[in-house]
Amino acid sequence: MIPLLAKDSKVRRKYLPESRQWLKMLRRSVLVLCMVATAKFQNDPAGQQILLFKEKTKGHIGVMTTSAGAPIEYKDARVTLNSNLISNEYFMDSVTHIVRERIPERVVHAKAGGAFGYFEVTHDVTHICKAKLFATVGKRTPVAARFSPVVVERGGIDTSRDVRGFAVKFYTEEGNLDIVGFNTPMYVYKDPILFPSILRARKRNPATNLFNDNPLWDFLTLHPESLHMFLLIFGDRGIPDGYRHMPGFGIHTYEVINEHGEKSFVRFHFTPTAGIKNLRSEEARKIAAVDPDYATRDLYSAIGNGNFPSWKVSIQVLSLNDVKNAGFDVFDVTKVLPLDDYPLTPVGMFVLNKNPINYFAEIEQLAFSPGNLVPGILGGPDKLFEARRLVYRDAQYYRLGANFNKIPVNCPIQVKVMAYNRDGNPPVEDNGGDTPNYYPNSFNGAEAYVDKKRTELIEIFEDDPNNFQQATELYVNEMTKDERSRVVENILYSLGGVAQFLQDRAVKLFTIIHPDLGYRISEGLAANRSNYYYDDDDKLYNYNK
418 compared with 200, residue with greater pLDDT: 200
Q: Indicate whether 23 belongs to any domain.
A: no
Confidence of residue 43 (pLDDT cuts 50, 70, 90): confident
User: What mean pLDDT comes out for the span 206-231?
Assistant: 96
Same domain for 366 and 277? yes
User: What mean pLDDT comes out for the span 393-410?
Assistant: 94
Same domain for 353 and 489? no
pLDDT at 517: 97
Annotated binding-site residue numbers: 392
pLDDT at 27: 57
Does the pLDDT at position 3 exceed 60? no
pLDDT at 39: 41
pLDDT at 148: 97
CATH number at residue 261: 2.40.180.10
Domain boundary residue, one of 410, 431, 448: 410
Same domain for 139 and 262? yes
Does the pLDDT at position 299 exceed 60? yes
Same domain for 282 and 380? yes
pLDDT at 496: 94
Same domain for 486 and 402? no
Terminal C-alpha separation, the chain: 32
Q: Indicate whether 284 belongs to any domain.
A: yes
Q: Indicate whether 242 belongs to any domain.
A: yes
Annotated binding-site residue numbers for heme: 392
The set of residues, in sequence order, having a beta carbon less than 8 Å from that of 64 and lying 6+ positions away, is 71, 72, 77
Q: Indicate whether 290 belongs to any domain.
A: yes
User: What mean pLDDT comes out for the span 262-269?
Assistant: 98
pLDDT at 2: 39
pLDDT at 292: 96
Cβ of 54: how many Cβ atoms within 10 Å?
10
Q: Cα(126)–Cα(267) distance, rounded to whole angstroms?
A: 16
Q: Cα(314)–Cα(343) distance, rounded to whole angstroms?
A: 10
Same domain for 241 and 341? yes
User: What mean pLDDT comes out for the span 218-234?
Assistant: 97
Q: Indicate whether 97 belongs to any domain.
A: no
Are the C-beta atoms of 125 and 345 separated by less than 8 Å? yes
Same domain for 538 and 391? no
Q: Which of 54-68, 290-304, 409-423, 448-462 has the highest mean pLDDT?
A: 290-304
Based on the structure, what is the number of domains in the chain? 2
pLDDT at 420: 87
pLDDT, averaged across the chain: 90
Bin 233: left if φ > 0, else alpha if -120 < ψ < 50, else beta.
alpha
- The predicted-structure confidence for 158-188, as pLDDT tens digits, reads as follows 999 999 999 999 999 999 999 999 999 999 9
255 compared with 15, residue with greater pLDDT: 255
User: What mean pLDDT comes out for the span 84-94?
Assistant: 89
pLDDT at 270: 98
Domain boundary residue, one of 410, 435, 453: 410
pLDDT above 70 coverage of the chain, percent? 89
Q: Indicate whether 250 belongs to any domain.
A: yes
Same domain for 406 and 484? no
Q: Cα(396)–Cα(103) distance, rounded to whole angstroms?
A: 11
Same domain for 382 and 510? no
CA proximity to 122, closest of 139, 103, 106: 139
Cβ of 244: how many Cβ atoms within 10 Å?
24
Are the C-beta atoms of 475 and 231 separated by less than 8 Å? yes
| DSSP letters spanning 429-488 | TTTTTTS--SSS-SSS-------TT--PPPP--------HHHHHHIIIIIS-HHHHHHHH
Does the pLDDT at position 486 exceed 70? yes
Same domain for 388 and 247? yes
pLDDT at 519: 97
Domain boundary residue, one of 410, 436, 470: 410
Q: Indicate whether 105 belongs to any domain.
A: no
Same domain for 344 and 487? no
> Which of 276-280, 306-310, 538-542 is the least confident region?
538-542
425 compared with 28, residue with greater pLDDT: 425
Domain limits for position 378: 113-410
Same domain for 386 and 530? no
Q: Indicate whether 92 belongs to any domain.
A: no
